[in-house]
Structure 1
């Protein structure tokens, strides 16, 4: 007897009905993770504040300690050189000796340097304290970011942590501008240093209990030639940029610094091609998410932090605001960055990190461009405040998107390198943005720096700022594919 396929279908036993899948609960923050996150966020916020807290206080510092007008800029430059130049080097040192050890040790150094700066009685002591603060920042920032990414698994929890971290970092920069003016006017510029001491002490006391040590399973060797060339190159580059901002692009010191920086960074690339265990493996740099994510992140930090400088010029030199009033105006920008940091993980969970980069960049560019409509009266605050608020939201979408893009899809062994690169992009972006915009303003202001001339120079720099933001959008569109891991798409939505 022949059994046809139709007969088989009639006599075949019914297939068992699959049980409905048990819903997987979204990951939650445990109490130890909450404390770990709080410790890391407090430290990162304090480090961000230090970048800008002395900007408003510089005239008072110079008057009290006898800095000449020409040398006063070294109070900011000494910090920036150390913070930007040594970030990648200390990121690898943290891989060698342990990220927790470097994080706690660098916070102790920051507290000691801040105490020395607050008690300084001479320019030499103050500058030494600023260099030590910069070195502490260069060590603590990548170590803290590595501890954050290795403490939280890739996905919703890490995105939420990076979102809050990014918001507080950006808010810290604007808070520094506000806090510096308040402390200087009400107390003394010395409190811009001394305020760090109790915070650093608290972190050093609490961190050993709650933060777990993190280092690669295989201890890498230190690529000394690579470390020397990249650190020297970054130092020369940052020095050249600061001199260009102070004296213009035709200044000999600026040209020498920028030229030496370019040569040393090319030398670094050649060294990395030949050594057995490079400081930055070229295979990692060939990852589009790492390479282009960091370029976009550098642009994001450079444009928003330099915008604070441009608006300070506008408010004080064009509208006649006091330093305190100008600083308080940036509180609105800080609120925008906090909101953007809270929204960014949800945008990334719903769409992708690439979407956050593109949408955030477009929002930031649009509201930066609207600032070109600012006039010469205080009525312009009705435009400035909402524009900076919404532009801050867009900028923070970009920053969190950059952090997720540049650190996702990498094993823990490469997190030190990835976060070191991300931290370097952050530090260099913060450092280079203001000198570039300062040079643009100086070139645009012809003759006496009247209120109208300053407003014209600021407008020229706003055009450049907007163009740079749009460049970041174009890079995300062209070089970061949508969807999948390459674009930073998470596997679960943030709830």
Structure 2
């Protein structure tokens, strides 16, 4: 088992059910360097999700991308980054997580440079797709390296708390930094920043990270890999496109149906394969099934809140883009605070109870946004969404711990692949499923209230379901 030895012996770990533990041991110097490399890579990928969004209106005319084609700047990244997560997580398990992590960093850095230097739409979209492919290798292998490097208990709780905080902060920083850099240096600087980030992280990684893989290397489940990757690609394409054009398009309906059929075929293949890509008994474990359900809902519903709240602040209240950015800046600051508090809460009451409590808090605070009025409510929106984001981050950290707790090292890549796939699919499906309701009825304010009410109900219902599902020990 490839793990680093912490600088001090780990204290008895808290169980996921909430047994109280002593204060977490300090991280040693090498531990901090390893954590820096892994978290910096995750932060870089999170930054890429949002840094380009505010640059799209400038990027389109510069490259000759029409308004209808701008969605591909986002979709070209989302397709491979979500579609290949499970496959790359398993490849890392079998053939070496460190090796695949380094390859992903190299691809991501080169692709960012290509996107920054793009001379036409094809070159830019190729760079974005390769960025997504690199991210699909970085995210699951980086998280599985983290969970196999830091033993289960207080050290892993702290490491995942820091990682989750930087993940959330990366989205917020990306939105603010993208606007500043686009205005001052041009949109290409946003992609150049990611290439520069890679040049800082990549040289440090080989000497710090341990290699780890499954001791007895079974054959890769090719039929399972083909069906799950194809199914996820089709599903993400359909939902990403529906976010822009609705579900009426023929291509959306065909790819959505294809995605569902391929994922159904994947389940059938896995039930018959001697060495499946995903163990179906593993998926039936309460911590895996209900932990990922909580993760899926917290990501999907929070992305929807941010989307409709942006519409409300700018189009209903008439706030400027800068003022709206300040609202989400406050959200980012409190997310950092939540990242320091969440491991302490988990140490006291356990990851499972923290997950349920965080989902309930996110749902109640989303419901509080219904108190905003058509002509006022910026202060209430700022406070409620910032506190909801604290609960959201608590759910992110606790669902990752819930899913990976008790999973042997040789299956950590699969477990973390499920965690990150849940995250990507959650981010992708929220806006198409609910967010479009805010813009299709003609009454924007009424649509926003409808979406917030449904969002809150879904999160609260999920909190109840996850709480019941996790009551039994695995």
- TM-score normalised by the shorter chain: which range applies? over 0.9
Listed as ranges, the gaps of 5+ residues in structure 2 are 1-20
Offset at 1:371? 1.4
Alignment of 1:270-349 (within 5 A): 270-349=268-347
Counterpart for residue 28 of structure 1: 26
CA-atom RMSD, angstroms?
1.7
Counterpart for residue 63 of structure 2: 65
| Distance in 2 (alpha carbons) for counterparts of 1:197 and 1:88 | 25
Offset at 1:394? 0.7
| Residues 1:470 and 2:467 aligned together | no
1:190-238 per-residue CA deviation (whole Å, 9 max, x = no partner) reads 1221111121111110011111111122223211100000011011111
Sort the Cα spacing of 1:240 and 1:400 in 2 relative to 1 into closer, same or farther, 3 A. same
Offset at 1:25? 8.6
Counterpart for residue 430 of structure 1: 427
Counterpart for residue 408 of structure 1: 405
Offset at 1:320? 2.9
8 Å Cα contact 1:54/1:180 also seen in 2: yes
Offset at 1:26? 5.2
Q: Which has the larger radius of gyration?
A: 1
Sort the Cα spacing of 1:323 and 1:119 in 2 relative to 1 into closer, same or farther, 3 A. farther
8 Å Cα contact 2:231/2:261 also seen in 1: yes
| Distance in 1 (alpha carbons) for counterparts of 2:157 and 2:125 | 37
SS of equivalent to 2:438: helix
More displaced stretch, 405-414 vs 309-318: 309-318
> How many residues are aligned here?
454
8 Å Cα contact 2:76/2:125 also seen in 1: yes
Listed as ranges, the gaps of 5+ residues in structure 1 are 1-22, 447-452, 487-495
More displaced stretch, 174-183 vs 98-107: 174-183
- Normalised by the length of structure 1, the TM-score is 0.88
8 Å Cα contact 1:336/1:389 also seen in 2: yes
Sort the Cα spacing of 1:435 and 1:182 in 2 relative to 1 into closer, same or farther, 3 A. farther
Offset at 1:24? 8.9
Offset at 1:468? 2.3
| Distance in 1 (alpha carbons) for counterparts of 2:296 and 2:386 | 21
Counterpart for residue 88 of structure 1: 86
Counterpart for residue 239 of structure 2: 241
| Distance in 2 (alpha carbons) for counterparts of 1:148 and 1:316 | 40
SS of equivalent to 1:27: coil
More displaced stretch, 135-144 vs 188-197: 188-197
| Distance in 2 (alpha carbons) for counterparts of 1:131 and 1:435 | 21
Offset at 1:391? 0.5
Counterpart for residue 216 of structure 1: 214
Counterpart for residue 250 of structure 1: 248
Offset at 1:436? 2.3
1:306-343 per-residue CA deviation (whole Å, 9 max, x = no partner) reads 32222222222223333343233211111222222221
SS of equivalent to 1:469: helix
| Distance in 2 (alpha carbons) for counterparts of 1:190 and 1:315 | 28
Offset at 1:434? 2.4
| Distance in 2 (alpha carbons) for counterparts of 1:238 and 1:46 | 22
